[in-house]
Structure formats: C-alpha cells, structure tokens
Amino acid sequence: MNTTPPLDGIRVLAVEQYGAGPWATMLLADLGAEVIKIENPETDGDIGRHVPPYTSDGDSIYFQSFNRNKKSITLNLRHDRAHEALHPLVEVSDCVFNNLRGDLPARLGLDYESLGPVRPSVVCCSLSAFGREGPRAAEPGYDYLMQAYSGWMSVTGDPDGPPQKAGLSIVDLSAGAMAAIGILAAALRARRSGIGCDVDVSLFETALSELAYVAAWHLSRGYEPRRLPDSSHPSMVPSQSLPTRDGWMVVMCAKEKFYRELVRIMGRPDLAEDPRFGTFADRLDNRDALVPILKELSVRRTTAEWLEMLRGRVPCAPVNTVAEALQDPLAAREGLILDTPHPSLGAVRQVASPIRIGDVGMSHRRGPLLGEHTDEVLGDLLGWERGRIERARAHGLI
C-alpha cells in the first residue's frame, strides 16, 4: 500500500473558525496537506472550541469534528509585529486561507496584494459570507442566514407550515468544499506558473449556485418553486416520503420503469396502465389523485417489509434517525468511523472523509489543543531559537 497521501508536501496556513473554514482545510488535511491553524491568543482561539454540548478544558467535540489532522499555533495578527512571524511562514507555504468577514483579509494583510510580494506563488483563499467586495462585504453571515437569503427556506418544509432550514449546516459544508476545490485548482496552476492569486468563495454565492436546476427553471422560464407535502420532488412523481405501518420510507421513481415496478409490487399494477398516470407529465398533472392511493397502500406494511420487496427494483430508503444511519451496515466499513483519543474529552468518535484514494491508507490525529504546535512550528520550521520564542510570547505576539 502507498503510504504517501496525495497532498503530501502542500502546506496551508489557516486563519479560521467555526465550521465552513475549518471544514475546507480539514478536507485538505485528511488528504495529507499540512494545515497550520493560526489562532488568536487573545480570544481563546477558534470559537468552535467553546461550542456546546460536550466541552472540556477549552475544547469541544464540535471543534474536533472540524479540525482533525491539523496543527495549531497562536499568533496575534493585529499585533504590530505580526509580520515577523506571518511572512516567514508564508515564505514556506503554498496557501494562506481565511474565513473571516469579507473586509478583514485586506486589513490584516492576508490577501494576494499583501502576500504576493512575500511569496509570488502563494494562493490566498478567502471564504466569507458575501465576498470581499460589494455592499455586504463587512457583514458577518452564517449558514442559517444564507438558507434564508438564497431561497432555500422558501422551498423547504410543509406547505401549511413556516419556511424551514435544512437540519444540517449544508451551506457551510458546501462552501467549505468549494473553497477546498478552489485552493487545489489555484495551487496546481501556481505549481506550473510560479504565480499565485486570490481565490474567493462566499456562503451566499455557494447557496445561490446550489439552487441549480430550480434557478435555471426560474431564470429561463419564470418557474416559481413552492413547498410540497411529503418532501416531494418538484417534477418526478412519486418521488417522496410515504408512510408505512411503523414509520416512513422514501421512494424515488426517477425512471418510468421504477414507477411501473413500484405499483406492481404494491399490488396495483393497473395504476401503470391508468392514462392519468402514464408518463412523468401525466403523474405531475395528477399528483393529487395518485399520491393518496399510494399512501393507502404503503401503510399496509412495515418499512422493513417494503424495503425487502423494493430494494434492487425501485430506489428506496428508510427515513432513519441519526443513530440508525450510523448503525447502517455500510457505516461499519473499515476506516469510516474514526476513534481519535483526546486528553480531556476522552474518545472522540467521528465520521471520516468520504474521499478514498485507492492505494493510500490514512492515519488520523485528533484536532490540536490551542497553540499546541507553536514552539514546534516557529522553532523547527522557521528556525527561531527558544529565547526569541519566549520574547514573542512575553510581548503578546504569540
């Protein structure tokens, strides 16, 4: 087995906190990049260290779930001598990443205009709420706000209830993945050309872009999306949740053959010949007639019974709880659930990256303690002597 991870030799300086930014760099760290997390010694570091529940000694399971495989140093970027440590670190790094408010990277000297003269090939990636330019650049922003801004909440939830956000921070996670892709693309070009650049990703633009086909329908034909019952697909019927005797299941009739097979297995093959339901368009027009019939049938058996009958014939799934999802036989696949022992939190168990590089076996480390690697990085990487490190600490630089 190859023991060299694909991003071995890539070094990223990360000025980050909370979820979206740390998620971006953890994706890179999981693939072998050296991620050096720069935390503010005046604010007890990344705010994610203090997110409840399950906190202990300035750390939390929340923080651990976004920061495995990284190093942590403390450095006060607002200190008038911050450049004495930052610039030498930039000289030996491929990327400087931040997920600060959009107006802050330039003010703190984290953009390419500031750092290009230090290392021409450096990639400076900013992941912000609304981008580094424009009228909202100085506004903070979070996943929940973006789900509201982007229209996601208007199409989520029951038609008779209030708009709802997704149950997870999907905008944060998606934007983090976009930032990781942007970093890799720009770093690859910089390796060829020797010239770096700024990379900008925003939560708002990520959420807007992920409207995808719904946005295309609206922009091209004026389509007005609406909330549908049963978490239904807007155009494929039936593709939704259905009640069972003991819970819920989801079916996805994304092809005509799946609909015909569904109604046959449910005991109503005649519904495949009913002219009201003959095609995608027919079923969409007659959704209100078809769905009640299917619900009458679906409640006659348990979820497990239906899945046994439908699997391999009709795309289907149980509506699991989180506990049930983590107990799925596929979740037992080797390496998917990680155990990362922690000195105060004990065993921290979490889900690994979904990216598997065929010939690489990855090992994983817990997320770092605040400033755990400050002396190591300044001493080993920059060659600072012990006295200089202690003087920097005494002056509040680190």
2-6, 54-58, 122-126, 286-290: least confident range: 2-6
Please determine, for residue 246, whether its predicted confidence score (pLDDT) is greater than 80. yes
Say whether both 337 and 314 belong to one domain.
Answer: no
* Cα 127 to chain centroid, rounded: 12
Please determine, for residue 1, whether its predicted confidence score (pLDDT) is greater than 60. no
* Cα 22 to chain centroid, rounded: 9
Say whether both 234 and 204 belong to one domain.
Answer: no
SS3 112: helix
pLDDT class of 360 with cuts at 50, 70, 90:
confident
The candidate with the shortest Cα–Cα distance to 63, out of 74, 85, 79, 47, is 47
Q: How many CB atoms lie within 10 A of CB 324?
A: 11
Q: Which helix (H) or strand (E) holds 61?
A: helix 61-67
Residues recognised as catalytic: 172
Q: What are the pLDDT digits (tens) for 87-97?
A: 999 999 999 99
Please determine, for residue 307, whether its predicted confidence score (pLDDT) is greater than 70. yes
Assess if residue 214 is contained within a domain: no
pLDDT class of 162 with cuts at 50, 70, 90:
very high
Structure tokens at 298: 């679906």
Say whether both 65 and 204 belong to one domain.
Answer: yes
Assess if residue 152 is contained within a domain: yes
Say whether both 283 and 378 belong to one domain.
Answer: no
Q: Which helix (H) or strand (E) holds 98?
A: strand 95-98
Place of tokens 């391999």: 312
CATH number for the domain spanning 344: value is: 3.40.50.10540
pLDDT class of 280 with cuts at 50, 70, 90:
very high
% the chain with pLDDT above 90: 95
Q: What are the pLDDT digits (tens) for 106-144?
A: 999 999 999 999 999 999 999 999 999 999 999 999 999
How high is the pLDDT of residue 3? 75
Say whether both 199 and 74 belong to one domain.
Answer: yes
Structure tokens at 77: 């970027």
Global pTM value: 0.94
* Cα 105 to chain centroid, rounded: 22
Assess if residue 216 is contained within a domain: no
Please determine, for residue 172, whether its predicted confidence score (pLDDT) is greater than 70. yes
Average pLDDT over residues 260-274: 97
Out of 289, 319, 349, pick the residue that ends a domain: 319
When the pLDDT of each residue in the chain is averaged and rounded to a whole number, the result is 96
The candidate with the shortest Cα–Cα distance to 175, out of 99, 250, 76, is 99
What residue numbers bound the domain in which 285 lies? 229-319
How high is the pLDDT of residue 363? 81
Please determine, for residue 288, whether its predicted confidence score (pLDDT) is greater than 90. yes
SS3 86: helix
pLDDT class of 2 with cuts at 50, 70, 90:
low
